[in-house]
Homo-oligomer: A and B are copies of this chain.
Amino acid sequence: MSYRLPPLAALRAFESEARHLSFKKAAEELNVTPAAVSQQIKALETYLGLSLFRRLTRALEMTAQGRAMLPKIREGFECLAVAIETAAKTCDGVLNINAPPSFASRWLLPRLPGFAVAHPEIEVRLSSSADTVDRRGETSVSEDEFLDPRSAANKVVIRYGKGHYPGYRVEQILAPERIPVCSPLLATPQRPLAKPADLGRHVLIHDETIDAEEHLSGWAQWLSSAGAGGIDAERGPRFSNAVLAVEAALNGQGVALALRPLVAADIAAGRLIVPIDFAVPSPYAYYLVLPEAMARRPSVAAFCSWLIDEIARDDRQTTVGAGVKADGISRRRTGV
């Protein structure tokens, strides 16, 4: 049947070009350079043995042949798009979300009711899988059984890593900083906690999720950035999970290094404080990962835009935090 198809990429270029009657605009739409479009069109003309555009000085003009084939090409692409839509549509209704436990419980879960109110028609199923950075921080998400195509459903995953998930649509949603947090009761006149050096006399709580993936442990990094060189960064209790580390801090068991967005609510509520306002950026970030074709499903699109809005709202509130960070840097200087 279709064992002899035209060069499809070139047809796509042709269609775009025909709409704009401009190589430059078509190139923009296709996210390539005009040179690339020019070559595609030329290849198509060679394939057909006839010219599709008459190159005038300022504008382009389609030839009769070009005009003749355009409608069927549009129809063809339309069919293909519909086909994709058809397949994806079979699994609408519920929305499966998978996220690392820390993000799920400390960030997403508290906000989900808001989404449910905005979209009562969508049934959300939230799951969380191991709270690890993707292996080496850059591998694909393909061994991720949650995204396994065999389970046909609308699905979205949130991952903490370097954002390299080939074949999927990837959107960075948070580039978190790490800040020290502890119970407001931890610091006492006897054991103050105001400058990095003070940490030497406090318990450091470790989150092994972060530590495992880097040459330098989280506290070692923070301490060296903060200029507190003399402190043993490795002592203290270790937890295999960020949630546990934060909870230990809430309990007054020491000072934990936490991703700011995951503890923002606790800080606002006064359950946690930031004893030393110095932040180090995390080498990883949170990414929203989903199959390309899912991006246009209504429930998925709704969730994605809701999520992005929520993040934006957070950012607006944390704009204060930017000032805090600058402050932190000056403290660092005095602290050294």
Contact = CB atoms under 8 A, between A and B. Distances in A.
Contacts of A8: 8-9, 12, 80
A6 to B, nearest CB: 5
A229 interface: no
A20 to B, nearest CB: 11
A79 B73 contact: yes
B51 A167 contact: no
A140 to B, nearest CB: 9
Size category, A interface: 35 or more
B149 A50 contact: yes
Contacts of A154: 49
> What copy number does this chain have within its complex?
2
A2 B12 contact: yes
A19 B155 CA distance: 29
A48 B80 contact: no
Contacts of A5: 12, 77, 80-81
Interface of A: 1-6, 8-9, 11-12, 15-16, 19, 29-30, 43, 45-52, 63-66, 68-84, 86-88, 90-91, 142, 147, 149-150, 152, 154-155, 167-168, 290-294, 296
23 contacts: A2-B16, A2-B77, A3-B29, A4-B296, A5-B80, A6-B81, A6-B293, A8-B80, A43-B167, A46-B167, A47-B292, A48-B84, A49-B88, A49-B149, A49-B155, A49-B290, A52-B149, A70-B83, A72-B79, A72-B82, A75-B76, A76-B76, A76-B77
